[in-house]
Amino acid sequence: MKCPFCRSDDSRVLDTSHDKRGGTRRRRKCKSCEQRFSTYERAILDPPLIIKQDDRREEFDRDKLISGIQISCDKRPVSATTIERLVGNIEANLQEMEEIEVSSRVVGDMVIAGLKELDEVAYIRYAIVYLGLEDLSSIRNEIDILLEN
């Protein structure tokens, strides 16, 4: 593992921990410059193909999902770490399904559910596009549902 400080290839693992999604976090110390740094490793598994509404198939794109969620969370108190965690959970759920192909609707439903728990304004922003809320009355109905809970 290259040291991010001096670019040396020689480092020593000080500590290792595992998360529930199968990732491994390693705390390292460079033998050359003695700086400490962390690395995160996770298995690269073949994610399912996503079936779009027009029946096209696309590979699951983690970065595209993060980007869409970040847009709905713009200027909201939702950290990048929280968004990463949400996308990681969605990706893990897709892996657990063990399907070769999954509808984009399934992924969208997972995002909607996650955003509803994280931030209601971000949820409404995402829902306007995802659920196709085209007028103020449909948006108001969705807000009323949120307020009832």
Kindly report, residue by residue over 81-133, the tens digit of the pLDDT. Answer: 999 999 989 988 888 888 889 999 999 999 999 999 999 999 999 988 888 88
Tens of pLDDT, residue by residue over 54-92, are 999 999 899 999 999 999 999 999 999 999 999 989 988
- Quote the CA–CA distance of 103 and 53 in Å, as a whole number: 8
Asked if 123 and 142 touch (Cβ cutoff 8 Å), the reply is no
pLDDT of res. 47 = 77
Instruction: Compute φ and ψ for 55, nearest 5 degrees.
Output: 70, 10
Q: Which residue intervals of the chain are DSSP H helices?
A: 62-72, 80-97, 104-118, 120-130, 136-148
Q: Distance from CA of residue 87 to its chain's centroid?
A: 1
Residue 134 pLDDT exceeds 80: yes
**Token reading at 41:** 């490793």
pTM of the predicted protein model: 0.65
